Amino acid sequence: MPIVYPHKTAMPCRDPQERRRNWDEVAEGYTAERAIAEAHRCLNCQDPVCEQGCPVNVPIREFVRRVALGDFEGAARTIRRRNLLPAICGRVCPVEHQCESRCVLAPHQDPVGIGRLERFVADWERQHGNGEQTAAPEVWRDQKIAIVGSGPAGLTVASDLAQLGYPVTIFEALHAFGGVLRYGIPQYRLPKEIVDEDVEHLKTLGVEFVRDVIIGKTVTIDQLVDEFGYSAVFVGTGAGSPIFMNIPGENLKGIYSANEFLTRVNLMRAYSPAYDTPVRSPRRAAVIGAGDTAMDAVRCSIRLGAEEAHIVYRRSEQEKGARAEDYERARDEGVIFDWLTLPQRFLGDENGWVRGLECIRTELGEPDESGRRRPVPVPGSEFTMAADVVVIALGTNPNPLVPQTTYGLDVDGHGCIVADPQTGATSRAGVYAGGDIVTGGATVILAMGAGREAATAIHEYLQQRADQEAEQVLDAGSPLLNG
């Protein structure tokens, strides 16, 4: 039994005080030495259970072994066999719920830092030029594929099908590509240059990117098929519609959905004086919710200058949805956590600006449908807290634009498109869906996994159709004879 250090090799992070005021990436990543040291913690298990925890089955054991040997190029190649966006996943995967949760080391010591290693390998590859990156494949098929939405799901489908020789077009409603990777996740956690590089890479694979097209408005799915000649459509429109609390005062100025706040900051770069889109500079920010989105919003508010920034959550620390790493970093940056606190209404001033929240304390009762213990208000515990910016980060619903405008596309009670979990097939032949529009808000790598399955299914579907058409031509005999 080799000796394994109980703790993950540390990854250097910039000093919390310094990073509170700028947008540079917080986690600096492993050096080669650290990466090799961390890779040596892996036991090279006979049965690498960690891989079952990864929604796209990255060959973890093999890539980690190559890192241990110092073969970073080989490690990169290994990861790329399964994962198109490793620099992104290595940064944002909630590894404690995915791959690392399965690592055999986990019960007694830290699991292998799979996410960190993946990031290291991807960054190494970026810095050393994607040497043997696949050249643009020959586009030789005539069945065109339309992809709606440029989030991780859509990007994955595009990549897989482009490499199979299909002409692929991605339609994006916004003016920039990447979905949540672009407008949601902040620069200090995922530098936008990485998203840009991945999009550029897909362009070299021949994928056509079209911005400013809102499918369902500019062009409907039916028109894509009937008038623009697309043979198959993949819908990866995400779960972009923000949920509000429906409590009094919610439309006061200074109250944002997380989507609006983060879009102003990330997509529109409100933090930079060079950009025109404004955002209110907070002094006391209150962010409602405790998922990834809430952590992003609260840490952005600190970077926008908030002297005090609170997370307000009706359950306790245990029930929070955020990734462990981001939660800790938020704490290090000085975020104040008000657990077991439920806002009941927002208070405003005479000009319609928010000035605070009226809250009530809660305690945890019996488990609810989600399996988490239900927060129950404690009578008489009402109190008010001051805030001049409030961000509501309670999750999102699927955007209804595509289902509303597509004939015969089934949705469930939550408005999610109903799709076969294995193939992404919807109730409409030739229309596939995957990612958050099917599952509701989930993770980047799950969206990519769904995209991969759908790409395989679309390829099979189109081959079948091509075969059928060929048969029909044969059955019909010579067109001349049939007049």
Partner 1 sequence: MDTTARIIDKRDLTDITKLFVVHAPLVARNAAPGQFVILRVTETGERIPISITDFSRAAGTITIVIQEVGRTTALVGALGVGEVFLDFAGPLGLAAPLPSQGHAVLIGGGFGTGAVFPLARELRSRGVRVSSIVGARTRDLVILADLLATESDEVHVCTNDGSLGYRGFVTGRLEELMDAGAGFTHCFAVGPMPMMRAVATTTRRRGLPAMVSLDPLMVDGTGMCGGCRVTVGGKSFFACVDGPFFDAHQVDFDEADARLMTYKEQETLAGELAGLGR
Ligand X SMILES: Cc1cc2nc3c(=O)[nH]c(=O)nc-3n(C[C@H](O)[C@H](O)[C@H](O)COP(=O)(O)OP(=O)(O)OC[C@H]3O[C@@H](n4cnc5c(N)ncnc54)[C@H](O)[C@@H]3O)c2cc1C
| Contacting positions for ligand X (CB under 6 A) | 92-94, 148-154, 171-174, 179-180, 184-185, 214-216, 236-238, 240, 262, 292-293, 296, 323, 399, 401-402, 435-437, 441-445, 447
The residue within the footprint of ligand SF4, chosen from 114, 279, 322, 416 (CB under 6 A), is 114
Min dist. Cβ of residue 89 to ligand X (A): 8
Nearer to ligand X, 72 or 118 (CB): 118
Residues whose CB falls within 8 Å of the CB of residue 140, separated by 6 or more in sequence, listed in order = 165
The residue within the footprint of partner 1, chosen from 78, 187, 263, 426 (CB under 8 A), is 263
Please report whether residue 345 would count as binding partner 1 according to CB under 8 A.
no
Q: Are 115 and 11 in contact (CB under 8 A)?
A: no
Region from 19-27, 40-48, 279-287, 358-366 binding ligand SF4, contact rule CB under 6 A: 40-48
Region from 20-28, 48-56, 375-383, 425-433 binding ligand SF4, contact rule CB under 6 A: 48-56
The residue within the footprint of ligand SF4, chosen from 26, 35, 58, 458 (CB under 6 A), is 58
Nearer to partner 1, 94 or 184 (CB): 184
DSSP state letter for 131: T
Nearer to partner 1, 238 or 434 (CB): 238
Min dist. Cβ of residue 435 to ligand X (A): 2
Residues whose CB falls within 8 Å of the CB of residue 360, separated by 6 or more in sequence, listed in order = 341, 342, 344, 377, 378, 381, 382, 383
Please report whether residue 246 would count as binding partner 1 according to CB under 8 A.
yes
Size of the site for partner 1 (CB under 8 A): 46
Q: Which residue has the tokens 């999009």?
A: 199
Q: What are phi and psi of 244, to 5 degrees?
A: -105, 170
Min dist. Cβ of residue 115 to ligand X (A): 10
179: left (phi over 0), alpha (psi -120 to 50) or beta: left
Please report whether residue 265 would count as binding ligand SF4 according to CB under 6 A.
no
Please report whether residue 147 would count as binding ligand SF4 according to CB under 6 A.
no
Size of the site for ligand SF4 (CB under 6 A): 28
Region from 43-51, 124-132, 135-143, 332-340 binding ligand SF4, contact rule CB under 6 A: 43-51
Measuring CA to CA, how many Å separate 419 from each of 225, 425, 450? 19, 5, 10
Q: What are phi and psi of 96, to 5 degrees?
A: -70, -15
Nearer to partner 1, 63 or 261 (CB): 261
Measuring CA to CA, how many Å separate 243 from each of 79, 239, 258, 427? 36, 10, 9, 27
Buried b (16+ CB within 10 A) or exposed e, 172-193: bbbebbbbbbbbbbbbbbbbbe
Cβ neighbours of 414 (radius 10 Å): 10
Spatial distance between the Cα atoms of 141 and 120, rounded to a whole number of angstroms: 36
Q: Which stretches of 45-151 are DSSP H helices?
A: 60-68, 72-80, 86-92, 99-102, 114-127
Q: Is 377 exposed, middle or buried (0-12, 13-18, 19+ CB in 10 A)?
A: middle
Structure tokens at 311: 């997370």
Residues forming the site for ligand SF4 (CB under 6 A)? 42-45, 48-50, 54, 56, 58, 60-61, 64, 83, 89-90, 93, 95, 98-99, 103-105, 112, 114-115, 118, 445
Residues forming the site for partner 1 (CB under 8 A)? 169, 171, 173-175, 183, 208, 210-214, 217-220, 223, 228, 240-242, 244, 246, 250-251, 253-254, 256-257, 259-260, 263-264, 268-269, 274-278, 280, 351-352, 399-401
